[in-house]
Amino acid sequence: MNKKQKKMLIRIIVAAVLIVLFSKLPIDGYVRFGLFMIPYLVIGYDILQKAFKGIRNKQVFDENFLMAVATVGAILLGDYSEGVAVMLFYQIGELFQSYAVGKSRRNISELMDIRPDYANIEVDGKLEQVDPDEVEIGTVIVVQPGEKVPIDGVIIDGVSILNTSALTGESLPRDAKAGDEVISGCINMTGVLKIRTIREFGESTVSKILELVENSSSRKSKSENFISKFAKYYTPVVCYGALALAFIPPIVLLIMGKPAMWGDWIYRALTFLVISCPCALVISIPLSFFAGIGGASNQGVLVKGSNYLETLAQTSYVVFDKTGTMTQGVFEVSGVHHNEISDEKLLEYAALAECSSSHPISKSLQKAYGKPIDRNRVTDIEEVSGNGVTAKVDGISVAAGNAKLMKRLGISYQECHHVGTVIHMAVDGKYEGHILISDILKPHAKEAIAELKKAGIKKTVMLTGDSKRVADQVAKELGIGEVYSELLPADKVSKVEELLHQKSEKEKLAFVGDGINDAPVLSRADIGIAMGALGSDAAIEAADIVLMDDDPLKISKAIKIARKCIHIVYENIYFAIGIKILCLILGALGIANMWMAIFADVGVMIIAVLNAIRTLFVKNL
């Protein structure tokens, strides 16, 4: 509890004790009125002040006005204990709501407690702490064990383990070494790192994430906008309704020659006012979305606003980019098929022959070989453009390349029908097999598609610029329903347009991409989801939702979180409005008294707030 909440708790306890004490005293008249005004003012002075300010600012109809009129009216009718009790229970509800919102905000604050307070710069052999905003691009900063990485950069010295859980939701630490790019917000766990900054603090990942979370509440969903408009018209309607209830029936009774019973009808009107207070709706709906955004952030899913959460819950079509989204976007050796020499020897010959090339294929071969390259063993290197490489390794002629190279050298080779890039190998003029290099699937890609289908996604589609053979193979492995290949960026937008016209108006289409090449498609889809795009300006700008790591399983997780949040929102709307209408009817008929009115207001609000907080707990979805 903060100071304000503790102060309110003390006021509640003091007022409750005084009500119980004064209720037992055998006194009447002005003395009893004066005594009950003490707990009333202790617990309700701020509500009366807010109501008076509202009237003065010509913004009369709010919950403070309703509470002030209802409680003052009850006291004037002589129902002192009920009038003070209504104010007391209202303040208990407000305290509970304040605590619940505070807890929700604290959860997000703890989660997003990644804003660094300082950056270390080495000056004359000593470390100086400076404001991260003052650090220029290209500056070398030092991050010690236990400190946060303050600014995005590249490690130039040191080896360590980084805790990225605040950013990605992943508990597994990541290794970091010289040459690796690191993003701000990570916690350095072991060694000392020297990092050369590549962005200013304001453009770093941590700043962009915090900006997204801070701005998310400004983008309201249709449900939130509906409740705001509802409360705007609802409150004056019930105030005029209460006024009518207080005066029209007694006047009608007088005309009919019957006793007017003014006191009874005014009491009914005051009860009607207490019941009508829209606190449960006005508080619980935004809180549900706020908690939903917090729960999603805790799982590594950044949602830019509650409107996107609402759209995501209605998603029926999910369209994927291939490279970098469902595949790792990194070429690796996926198979070695040899004749007479071993796999290891074939890889050794290939890596040594390709040692002078900077092509990604060459780097993949050298990585698969996994040993230091001794260039002294290699002579007579000749790169044949569009074909491959010939060289001598330990004095033995080696050729590594495509089928064109084999034909050029007059070497008969075996056709390969595997999906990927095939490197044919000839050693000492003889064909010795081939090495397959391909863009491998992400670890959870297949499982992610299965989870989406379980979640009720109607159609999964993959769009790629790759060849049809590669695209069909990947789609088949993943279990994706439709695949369109050999597409340019503009073609992807056109294909998404077609899919948007195929679905019904209520169904929504989500596009999942790496956020760099796919910005136009991310913007065009009903909901754009950027995968593994921390630090990518294009992703953060174009996407509505950013997954803070590259795990495709987070897509189904995000959809489940959104659906749970919307389900709870509608539960609260139906529950709160249903109870209100029932109690309003009972109040108008004189069946409901002030105590039932307190339940209809404070009780319903507490239940709705408790229900809203459930959206924070999404770990096991």
263-272, 281-290, 457-466, 527-536: the lowest-pLDDT one: 527-536
The string of pLDDT tens digits covering residues 3-51 is 888 898 999 999 999 988 988 888 888 898 899 999 999 999 998 998 8
List active site positions: 321
- Any idea what the Cα angle at residue 67 is, between residues 83 and 53, rounded to 5°? 130
Among 365, 368, 369, 405, which residue's Cα sits nearest to residue 388? 405
List, in order, residues 6 or more apart from 235 with CB less than 8 Å away: 61, 62, 63, 66, 276, 278
Say if residues 425 and 343 touch (Cβ distance below 8 Å): no
With residue 237 as reference, give the H or E element that holds it: helix 222-255
Residue-by-residue DSSP string for 241-289: HHHHHHHHHHHHHHHTTS---HHHHHHHHHHHHHHH--HHHHHHHHHHH
* Most confident segment among 148-162, 529-543, 571-585: 148-162
The string of pLDDT tens digits covering residues 565-587 is 999 988 988 888 888 888 888 88
> pLDDT averaged over the chain?
83
| Amino acid 209: pLDDT | 65
| Amino acid 451: pLDDT | 93
Say if residues 72 and 269 touch (Cβ distance below 8 Å): no
Among 367, 408, 412, 413, which residue's Cα sits nearest to residue 388? 408
C-alpha dihedral (306, 307, 308, 310), degrees to nearest 10: 90
Q: Which domains does the chain have, with CATH numbers?
A: 301-327+442-559 (3.40.50.1000), 329-440 (3.40.1110.10)
The string of pLDDT tens digits covering residues 329-368 is 677 888 888 888 888 899 999 999 988 876 767 888 888 8
Q: Rounded CA gap, 467 and 315, in Å?
A: 29
| Amino acid 431: pLDDT | 93
The string of pLDDT tens digits covering residues 379-432 is 999 988 778 899 999 999 999 988 889 999 999 988 876 767 788 999 999 999
For residue 443, which phi and psi values (nearest 5 degrees)?
-50, -40
Percent of all residues in the chain with a pLDDT value above 90, rounded to a whole number? 25
For residue 219, which phi and psi values (nearest 5 degrees)?
-95, 95
| Amino acid 597: pLDDT | 76
